[in-house]
Structure 1
Amino acid sequence: MSDTQSPLARYAAEPSATDGQRLALMARAWVDDGIICVRPEQIANDILRRACITAVEELYGKRADG
Protein backbone atom coordinates (compact mmCIF):
# COMPACT_ATOMS: atom_id res chain seq x y z
CA MET A 1 0.00 0.00 0.00
CA SER A 2 1.41 3.38 -0.95
CA ASP A 3 1.66 6.26 1.48
CA THR A 4 -0.57 9.00 0.08
CA GLN A 5 -0.77 11.00 3.29
CA SER A 6 0.21 14.65 3.09
CA PRO A 7 3.51 15.59 4.76
CA LEU A 8 1.49 18.13 6.77
CA ALA A 9 -0.50 15.34 8.40
CA ARG A 10 2.57 14.28 10.37
CA TYR A 11 2.80 17.72 11.96
CA ALA A 12 -0.94 18.24 12.44
CA ALA A 13 -1.24 14.90 14.24
CA GLU A 14 1.30 15.86 16.89
CA PRO A 15 -0.25 18.00 19.60
CA SER A 16 1.98 20.79 20.86
CA ALA A 17 0.97 22.28 24.17
CA THR A 18 3.48 25.08 24.52
CA ASP A 19 4.82 27.83 22.28
CA GLY A 20 8.25 26.21 22.42
CA GLN A 21 6.85 22.89 21.24
CA ARG A 22 4.99 24.60 18.39
CA LEU A 23 8.15 26.43 17.31
CA ALA A 24 10.13 23.18 17.39
CA LEU A 25 7.46 21.46 15.28
CA MET A 26 7.49 24.33 12.76
CA ALA A 27 11.28 24.22 12.59
CA ARG A 28 11.21 20.47 11.99
CA ALA A 29 8.62 20.89 9.20
CA TRP A 30 11.02 23.30 7.47
CA VAL A 31 14.15 21.18 7.93
CA ASP A 32 12.56 17.81 7.13
CA ASP A 33 10.06 18.68 4.40
CA GLY A 34 10.69 22.27 3.29
CA ILE A 35 7.28 23.29 4.66
CA ILE A 36 7.06 26.87 5.86
CA CYS A 37 4.90 27.18 8.97
CA VAL A 38 4.87 30.61 10.54
CA ARG A 39 2.31 32.74 12.30
CA PRO A 40 2.42 36.39 11.25
CA GLU A 41 2.76 37.53 14.86
CA GLN A 42 6.03 35.58 15.10
CA ILE A 43 7.66 37.96 12.60
CA ALA A 44 8.87 41.03 14.49
CA ASN A 45 9.89 43.03 11.42
CA ASP A 46 6.78 44.86 10.15
CA ILE A 47 7.95 44.96 6.53
CA LEU A 48 8.75 41.24 6.42
CA ARG A 49 5.49 40.37 8.19
CA ARG A 50 3.44 42.38 5.67
CA ALA A 51 5.39 40.87 2.75
CA CYS A 52 4.70 37.33 4.01
CA ILE A 53 1.01 38.06 4.50
CA THR A 54 0.79 39.59 1.03
CA ALA A 55 2.49 36.57 -0.56
CA VAL A 56 0.19 34.10 1.18
CA GLU A 57 -2.91 36.14 0.34
CA GLU A 58 -1.80 36.18 -3.30
CA LEU A 59 -1.58 32.39 -3.31
CA TYR A 60 -4.57 31.43 -1.14
CA GLY A 61 -6.75 34.51 -0.63
CA LYS A 62 -7.49 36.41 2.56
CA ARG A 63 -8.32 34.69 5.84
CA ALA A 64 -11.94 34.80 6.97
CA ASP A 65 -10.94 36.50 10.24
CA GLY A 66 -8.47 38.88 8.57
Structure 2
Amino acid sequence: YSGNSYGNEAMKLLINILRENGINTVNGYCQSDNTAIIKIMGKNGFIRDSNNIEMPNVNKYTLTIK
Protein backbone atom coordinates (compact mmCIF):
# COMPACT_ATOMS: atom_id res chain seq x y z
CA TYR A 1 0.00 0.00 0.00
CA SER A 2 3.04 2.23 0.04
CA GLY A 3 2.80 5.23 -2.26
CA ASN A 4 -1.01 5.34 -2.38
CA SER A 5 -1.35 8.37 -0.06
CA TYR A 6 -3.33 6.38 2.52
CA GLY A 7 -1.23 7.81 5.36
CA ASN A 8 -1.70 11.37 4.12
CA GLU A 9 -5.47 10.89 3.77
CA ALA A 10 -5.68 9.39 7.26
CA MET A 11 -3.76 12.35 8.67
CA LYS A 12 -6.12 14.81 6.95
CA LEU A 13 -9.14 13.00 8.42
CA LEU A 14 -7.59 13.02 11.89
CA ILE A 15 -6.85 16.75 11.67
CA ASN A 16 -10.45 17.43 10.60
CA ILE A 17 -11.79 15.42 13.53
CA LEU A 18 -9.54 17.34 15.92
CA ARG A 19 -10.65 20.66 14.40
CA GLU A 20 -14.34 19.71 14.70
CA ASN A 21 -13.77 18.90 18.37
CA GLY A 22 -12.14 22.23 19.18
CA ILE A 23 -8.56 21.00 19.43
CA ASN A 24 -6.16 23.84 18.55
CA THR A 25 -2.77 22.20 18.90
CA VAL A 26 -1.52 18.65 18.49
CA ASN A 27 1.92 17.09 18.96
CA GLY A 28 3.20 14.21 16.88
CA TYR A 29 6.21 12.00 17.52
CA CYS A 30 8.07 9.66 15.20
CA GLN A 31 11.37 7.88 14.88
CA SER A 32 13.96 10.16 13.32
CA ASP A 33 14.53 7.72 10.43
CA ASN A 34 10.83 7.29 9.54
CA THR A 35 10.93 9.36 6.37
CA ALA A 36 7.39 8.42 5.31
CA ILE A 37 5.65 9.87 8.36
CA ILE A 38 8.03 12.85 8.44
CA LYS A 39 6.91 13.63 4.88
CA ILE A 40 3.22 13.21 5.80
CA MET A 41 3.57 15.49 8.82
CA GLY A 42 5.29 18.13 6.70
CA LYS A 43 2.58 18.00 4.01
CA ASN A 44 -0.04 18.56 6.69
CA GLY A 45 1.56 21.57 8.34
CA PHE A 46 3.40 20.03 11.27
CA ILE A 47 6.51 21.95 12.32
CA ARG A 48 9.47 20.13 13.85
CA ASP A 49 10.26 21.22 17.38
CA SER A 50 13.76 21.26 18.78
CA ASN A 51 15.50 17.96 19.38
CA ASN A 52 13.82 15.68 21.87
CA ILE A 53 16.34 15.43 24.73
CA GLU A 54 14.40 12.69 26.54
CA MET A 55 14.28 10.47 23.44
CA PRO A 56 17.16 11.43 21.12
CA ASN A 57 16.05 9.21 18.19
CA VAL A 58 12.50 10.57 18.25
CA ASN A 59 11.42 13.76 16.49
CA LYS A 60 8.65 15.93 17.93
CA TYR A 61 6.34 17.89 15.63
CA THR A 62 3.61 20.39 16.47
CA LEU A 63 0.58 21.40 14.44
CA THR A 64 -1.49 24.48 15.15
CA ILE A 65 -4.96 23.71 13.81
CA LYS A 66 -6.75 26.65 12.19
> Which TM-score applies when normalising by structure 1?
0.35
For the pair shown, the structure with the greater C-alpha radius of gyration is: 1
> Which TM-score applies when normalising by structure 2?
0.35
Structure with the greater relative contact order (CA < 8 A, sep ≥ 6): 1 or 2? 2
Q: Which structure shows the higher helix fraction?
A: 1
